Structure 1
Amino acid sequence: MRELISFPCEGDMLAGTLDDAAGATGLLIVSGGNEIRCGAHRGMALIAATLAAGGVPVFRFDRRGIGDSEGANYGYAESGPDIAAAAQAFRTVAPNVKRIVGFGNCDAATALALFHRAAGIESLVLANPWVGDEEDGLPPANAIRSHYADRARDPKQWLRLATGGINIGKAISGLRKASKGSPQPGNPIAEQMTAALGDTPHVFLLANRDNTAIRFAGAWPHGGDKRECATDSHSFARPGDDAWLLAQLREALA
């Protein structure tokens, strides 16, 4: 059963959705960017319905200033109180839930890594964590090399080059960056995540041709449990991505 919930967070009322089920382990979905709780292409709503049908209660919410929630939007870096309030609301409306797994994509994954302890979240599934943008506005060097390798194998791209369909200046800038390799100085967001995660069980889910995921993989100073999906879709929206994502979530919830 799907139920709409309102709950307080520092004087504002937030909107949430509970897909109820009888399980003792629940999934708290945190939305990334300025995305509302249904997710890109309704992906999070579909995940919630599917997992709940299999016995897993799922709670989604709009943080302050997003979607149906009140307040001002201060971004992921100030979303700790929102996540804690949502986790508390989840436990209140679904008292059968004894363990919460947090799941987020992009800067929602970053926020969960940073703020999960205060919310009492026991385990994390972190998809394509955001660790900042490239200073030059270009994709990461590894992504550029992969992109041009794919294009070099496509005869249509050679035709585009010959007919002026490719921005030569941009291509030269990208190739110049790719040729220099990808030195990885310390990334402050990755370092903050490292300190905050500690010994919390977590898994990283990476879309292996997504620029955000590629940048994270290059900036992350540790190994850890990293799982790759063969897709360029940041929101895992390509055919087959949804089945892969659900399988990873079910394993984390088991």
Structure 2
Amino acid sequence: MTERFIVVHSAGYKLSAILHEAQTCGPDDTSDTGVLILVGGPQYRVGSHRQFVKLSRALANAGISNLRADFSGMGDSDGELQPFYANNQAIKQAIDTLIEQHPAIKQVVIWGLCDAASAALLYNYQQPDSRVAGLVLLNPWVRQQHSHAQVMLKHYYWQRLSSKAFWQKLLGGGLNPLQSFKDLLQTYRTSKTKQSKDAAAKQQAIKEQTTADNYVQQMLAGWQSFTGKTLVITSGNDHTAQEFLDLCADSTAWQQCLANAHHHHIAAANHTFANALWRAEVEQQTINFVRQIKSGR
């Protein structure tokens, strides 16, 4: 494989990117299918614990060319930092650049962690692209005030109350019990906030410009209309993943989308799959998925 620095031109900005080109032939040749690795959260193209570098090299060693780029305002890229739901033009330009630089590529798999997974679904909603044959979504970000509070009540406060260390800290004077109770009460109230069930209101949210208030509905619309294949990878030790899984369990529409995807759950993993075992599992799942798309299975 070869690695080289390239520039993605988007909205007048120069986005820094690394292209990993594979040299392959034989039965596992996937030269017509490339991977675009989207960077989410406060990360640039290297990733937490060099996660994206290692993923790119694993893919290239498996014969899969790929591109990872900094969005505007991150890493070495020009411009202003944009919210994750406003990067559709940058994603399109990155796909254009990947195909221009590697003409053998005819179709692309978008890979994203956290709000980059959300951006991948929103791209399909905002700007459907027939070149995108697959999505790899890791711990998608679907944060809403009420749902986050519910996750905290179910998975954080209960663990705290059943923890020996918590009671030792409380009895030792290391916690302010009044403030802790106020925090718990506020979280409970937020979790009970009623969300609109009106179908017309939800439909209107889908039609509006994407914002922090309606992106979850638009993610769902993008997923429902996607005609390619989807791999969802979730972590068992992660509140972001749990909020996504709770949403899928509580909503028939989300549940159906997840049922139509291939879902791989790594029970012990944290949000960024931080150890070598979890990282290797993510890499192999991604490689297998791209090969399945290539073979048409």
Q: TM-score range by the shorter chain?
A: 0.7 to 0.9
Contact 1:76 1:111 in 2 (8 A): yes
**Paired residue for 2:277, among 223, 226, 240?**
240
8 Å CA contact 2:16–2:69 kept in 1: the answer is: yes
CA distance in structure 2 between the aligned counterparts of 1:74 and 1:142, rounded to whole angstroms: 27
Provide the rounded CA distance (Å) in 2 between the counterparts of 1:241 and 1:30: 19
Moved more, 160-169 or 12-21: 160-169
Aligned to 1:9: 10
Specify which of 228, 232, 236 is matched with residue 200 of structure 1: 228
- 1:84–1:166 CA distance, 2 compared to 1 (3 A): same
One-letter amino acid matched to 1:248 = Q
Q: Give the unaligned 5+ runs of structure 1.
A: none
- Asked whether the 8 Å contact 1:152–1:158 carries over to 2, the reply is yes
**Greater mean alpha carbon deviation, residues 106-115 or residues 202-211:** 202-211
DSSP-derived class of the 1:43 partner: helix
- The CA deviation at 1:58 is 1.5
1:131 alignment partner, one of 138, 142, 145: 142
Q: Contact (CA 8 Å) 2:148, 2:191: kept in 1 or not?
A: no
* C-alpha spacing 1:81/1:182, structure 2 compared with 1 (3 Å): same
Counting matched residue pairs gives: 252
Does the CA-based 8 Å contact 2:149-2:190 persist in structure 1? no
Q: Is the 8 A contact 1:184 1:218 kept in 2?
A: no
The one-letter code of the counterpart of 2:278 is: D
Match of 2:155 in 1: 146
**Does the CA contact (< 8 Å) of 2:234 and 2:264 recur in 1?**
yes
**Which deviates more from structure 2 when the two are superposed, residues 1-10 or residues 227-236?**
227-236
Give the alignment of 1:87-98 within 5 angstroms: 87-98=95-106
Any idea what SS the aligned residue of 2:132 has? coil
Q: Which amino acid aligns with 2:218?
A: Q
Q: Describe the SS at the equivalent of 2:173.
A: coil
Structure 1 residues 216-225 or 180-189, which shifts more?
180-189
In 1, Cα distance between the equivalents of 2:78 and 2:42?
Answer: 14
Give the alignment partner of residue 159 of structure 1, picking from 165, 168, 172.
168
Identical pairs, percent = 26
User: Match for residue 21 of structure 1?
Assistant: 22
Q: TM-score, normalised by structure 1?
A: 0.86
TM superposition shift of 1:208: 2.5
In the alignment, what sits opposite 1:81?
A: 89
Q: Which residue of the partner structure matches residue 215 of structure 1?
A: 243
Q: 2:48 aligns with which of 19, 40, 43?
A: 40
- What CA distance in whole angstroms lies between the structure 2 residues aligned with 1:119 and 1:41? 33
Return the offset for 1:205: 1.8
Shift of 1:57: 1.0
Name the amino acid aligned to 1:67.
G
Moved more, 60-69 or 170-179: 170-179
Work out the CA distance in 2 between the residues paired with 1:174 and 1:238.
Answer: 33
1:210 touches 1:231 (CA, 8 Å); kept in 2? no
Partner of 1:191: 217
Whichever residue aligns with residue 205 of structure 1, its letter is: I
Q: Which is richer in helix?
A: 2
**How far apart, in 1, do the equivalents of 2:193 and 2:267 lie?**
24
Q: How far does the alpha carbon of each residue in 1:47-76 deviate from its partner, in whole angstroms, 9 at most, with x for none?
A: 111121121112100112221112222221
Whether 1:122 aligns to 2:133 is yes
Q: Structure 2-normalised TM-score?
A: 0.75
Does the 8 Å contact 2:238/2:271 carry over to 1?
A: yes
1:175 Cα deviation after fit = 4.9
* Unaligned 5+ runs, structure 2: 24-29, 197-212, 292-297
Deviation at 1:106, TM superposition (A): 1.4
Instruction: Report deviation, 1:173.
Output: 4.6
Q: 2:65 aligns with which of 49, 54, 57?
A: 57
One-letter code aligned to 1:192: Q
Post-superposition offset of 1:242 = 0.7
| Alpha-carbon separation, structure 1, partners of 2:94 and 2:162 | 48
CA distance in 2, matches of 1:232, 1:172: 30
Quote how far apart the aligned CAs of 1:183 are. Answer: 7.7
